[in-house]
Homo-oligomer: A and B are copies of this chain.
Amino acid sequence: MARHTADLILNNGLIVTPGGVIEGGVAVAEGKIVAVGSDAFLPDGERRIDLAGKHVLPGVIDPEVHLGSHRPLADDFRTETRAAAAAGVTTWGLQLTSLFITGGADKVKGPADIPNFTGAMPSFYEAARSSVIDFFLTPIVSTEEHVEEIPRLAREHRITSFKIHLQMQGPWKPAWPHYAFDDGTIYSAFEAVAKLGPPALALLHCENWEIARVLENRLKAAGRTDKGAWDDRSPWITEAGHARTYLYYARVLGCPVYVVHATTKETLAEIDKAKAEGAVVYSEIGAHYLVLHKDAWKINVPLRDRRTHELLWSALASGAIDCIGSDHVAHTRTREAMETGNVWTTVSGFPSRVEGMFPMMLSEGVNKGRISIARLAQVASENPARIFGLYPKKGAIVPGADADLVVVDLKRKVKISREVLHTVTPWTIYDGWDVTGWPVMTMVRGHIVMEWPEGEPRARISDGSPGEYQQRKLAR
C-alpha cells in the first residue's frame, strides 16, 4: 500500500477526541480527518501547522439560528455565517418559518397566505449559496399544511428536525403572521415526526404566553418598566408548564423532543420526570443564559438571575442539559434605536449571540472550572451531531469524519467590542467584556475559513463559500 501525503497536519496540540484529550495532532486530507496520533507518528503533509499546545476541538455545531428574520435570508447567510465561522461554528442549524425564507410577511392577510416549505426550498438553497459554513434546516412548523409536508421534506430534503413555537399557538394574528396552529396541529406534528423514526425529532420553544399576558398586565399596572420585569413576565411556570404538557403528548406519541433554551430548574425537573416515564428528551441552553443577568436585555425565553446561571452551568456539566445553541439573530439597528428605557417598548433580542457563544464557554466555562473542555466538545459538537443526525460524519475528531475543526487558544485575551466582531449588527451586548480564551482557527471540511493570528486586531475570514447543505440520515 502506497503511503500518502496529507493536505494538512496540525501537530503539537491537545486534541479533544471522544476517547479523551490526547497530546499530538491531526492529519487532514480531501476534507476528511485521516489520522489522529502522537506527533512523531503522523504522516507527512503539504502544510504543517504547529499548534504550540493549543486545543483542537470538533467544529461547533450550533443547532439554533434564525437567519432571515430581519433581513433577506441571502444577506444574512453572507454576513452571519462569517460571524459564526469567526466564533468556531462549522455547521449551523437554521430554524426558520417559511416566511423567513420567502419574505413577504407584511403581505400575509390570513393563515391561507402562509407559504409551505416545499415551495420555499429552492429559495432556501439559493439564499444559502454564499454560506461559508455547513448548514441544515429545521422548519418551524406553523400550520397544518406544514405538518402534512413533514414526510416529503424528510424524503426529498433529508430534513429530520422540526420546531414548534409553542408560545405562538392560537388563531392567526396579524402581529405574528407566520403562525396558525393549535394542540391538534401539534399532536399531528408529533405523530408525523415519530413516524419518521430517530433521529427525527421535534424542537420545542416552551413558554406559555397566555399566562405571560396576565402577568405582563399586572407588571404594567404595578408601574414596572425595568428590564428585569421581563423575567417576571415569563417566570418558570410558563416554561415548565409547557414542558410538562408537551413532553407528555410527545412521549405518548413516541416523538423524541428537544427543548430549546431550558432555563429553569423546574423545566429540568419536568424533563427528568418525562424521561423517567420513557420520553426521549434532549435540551439546549444558550451561552447568554449562562452569563447575562436578566437586567441585561429582553429576550424569549427571558434571561434569568445569577443563581439560575450557576444551576444551568451545573446542569450542562453534569449531563442534564445536552447542547448549547446561539439563538442568533441579525439586524442593522443600533443599540440606541432599540433601547427605549422601558422594557415594554424596548426591541426584543440582542446581538451578538453567535460570536459570544463559544468565547463565553471558554472564558466563563472552561477557564473558570465550570465545565471541562472535553464536556464542552460534547455539548458544542458531539451531542448536536448525534441528536440532529450528523454523527459520525460530524461531531468528533476521529479518522473518517469531516475535517471540521476549531483551534482554541485558552490563553488568548480579547476585549470585546464592535471592532473584533463580524456580524452585521452594529453593536454588541458584550461590549467591553474582557475574556480569556478564544477560537483562533476554524476549518470546514479542510477549508480554513477563519484564522486569527496572535497580534492581529481581529480574525481573518475566508472569502470562499465552501458551506454545504447537510442532508441527514433517515431511519426508514
| Cα–Cα distance between A214 and B185 once the two chains are bound (Å) | 8
Contact, CB under 8 Å: B241 / A214? no
Contact, CB under 8 Å: A35 / B34? no
Most buried by B among A17, A19, A41, A210: A41
Contact, CB under 8 Å: A248 / B252? no
The listed residue (B2, B20, B43, B398) touching A43 by CB distance below 8 A is: B43
Contact, CB under 8 Å: B35 / A1? no
| Cα–Cα distance between A185 and B18 once the two chains are bound (Å) | 40
Q: Mark A25-46, 1 if CB is under 8 A from B, else 0.
A: 0010100101111111111100
**Residue numbers in B under 8 Å from A24 (CB-CB):** 35, 399-400
**Residue numbers in B under 8 Å from A32 (CB-CB):** 38
The listed residue (B3, B35, B185, B211) touching A184 by CB distance below 8 A is: B211
Q: How many copies does the complex hold?
A: 4
Contact, CB under 8 Å: B187 / A211? yes
Contact, CB under 8 Å: A400 / B20? yes
The listed residue (B2, B20, B35) touching A392 by CB distance below 8 A is: B20
**Residue numbers in B under 8 Å from A11 (CB-CB):** 1
| Cα–Cα distance between A17 and B42 once the two chains are bound (Å) | 18
Contact, CB under 8 Å: A22 / B244? no
| Cα–Cα distance between A43 and B36 once the two chains are bound (Å) | 11
- Closest chain-B Cβ to A222's Cβ sits at a distance in Å of 15
A40-B34, A244-B248 given; A17·B18 CB < 8 A: yes
Q: List 25 A-B contacts (CB under 8 A).
A: A3-B40, A3-B44, A17-B19, A18-B20, A20-B398, A34-B40, A34-B41, A35-B37, A35-B38, A35-B41, A36-B398, A38-B399, A40-B43, A41-B43, A43-B43, A184-B210, A184-B211, A184-B212, A184-B213, A184-B214, A237-B252, A241-B245, A241-B252, A244-B244, A245-B248
**Chain A interface (Cβ < 8 Å from any Cβ of B):** 1-4, 6, 11, 15, 17-20, 22-24, 27, 29, 32, 34-44, 170-171, 182-185, 187-188, 208, 210-214, 237, 241, 244-245, 248-249, 252, 276, 391-392, 396-401
